[in-house]
């Protein structure tokens, strides 16, 4: 897999990236993230464990000299943990003013999904009563893809903890 750089350089690039989502698998479900939020896709590097972190924060990675928190999305979403393999990778995303790595089972491909094919997320809160991290549900043929809101994957409380660790 190696280093895939997805940095958006200017307004023309941003316009070309509109309506494009990086799709990845967690178990049997496919999720998507707005491609403009993604800076890179990497093979899973060595993770340094940091004590007293939420269980879904596996630790930090050193990515070209920058220390970035590594979040296992399976654990974040309450999906059973599984052993990492050669297809497991980390998607580096920008959220607000910080950068985090999201550990996913496998990256599938980039899909173009028109805004009018994305419906609103379900109007319920997760088990902890916090705001849901689903930005919308995309209809792609007969399938429904879950589009994530990167800024809501990590709560404000957890974000403060992560910023202290990096």
Range list of β-strands (E), 15-105: 20-26, 29-34, 38-43, 57-63, 66-72, 89-95, 98-104
What average pLDDT score do residues 106-111 get?
A: 93
Candidates 31, 71, 39, 44; CA nearest to 55 is 71
For residue 132, the model assigns a pLDDT of: 74
Per-residue pLDDT band at 68 (split at 50, 70, 90): very high
Look at the chain and report how many structural domains it folds into. Answer: 1
For the chain, the average pLDDT equals 83
CATH code of residue 37: 2.40.50.180
Residues in the chain: 166
Token pair, residue 113, equals: 């999904």
CA–CA distance, 8 with 76 (Å, rounded to integer): 27
Candidates 42, 44, 17; CA nearest to 93 is 42
Q: Bigger pLDDT: 59 or 8?
A: 59
What is the residue range of 124's domain? Answer: 4-165
For residue 2, the model assigns a pLDDT of: 47
The answer to whether residue 71 scores a pLDDT higher than 90 is yes
Candidates 160, 165, 158, 163; CA nearest to 55 is 158
Cβ-contact 103, 73 below 8 angstroms: yes
For residue 128, the model assigns a pLDDT of: 53
């Amino acid at each position: 897999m190696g280093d895939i750089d997805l940095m958006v350089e200017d307004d023309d690039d941003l316009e070309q990236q509109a309506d494009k989502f990086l799709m990845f698998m967690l178990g049997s479900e496919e999720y998507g993230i707005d491609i403009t939020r993604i800076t890179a896709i990497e093979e899973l590097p060595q993770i340094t464990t940091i004590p007293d972190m939420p269980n879904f924060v596996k630790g930090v990675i050193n990515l070209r000299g920058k220390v970035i928190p590594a979040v296992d999305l399976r654990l974040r979403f309450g999906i059973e943990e599984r052993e990492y393999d050669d297809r497991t990778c980390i998607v580096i995303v920008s959220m607000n003013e910080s950068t985090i790595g999201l550990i996913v089972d496998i990256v599938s491909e980039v899909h173009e999904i028109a805004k009018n094919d994305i419906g609103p997320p379900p109007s319920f809160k997760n088990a902890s009563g916090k705001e849901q991290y689903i930005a919308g549900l995309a209809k792609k043929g007969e399938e429904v893809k879950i589009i994530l809101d990167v800024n809501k994957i990590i709560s404000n409380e957890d974000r403060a903890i992560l910023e202290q660790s990096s």
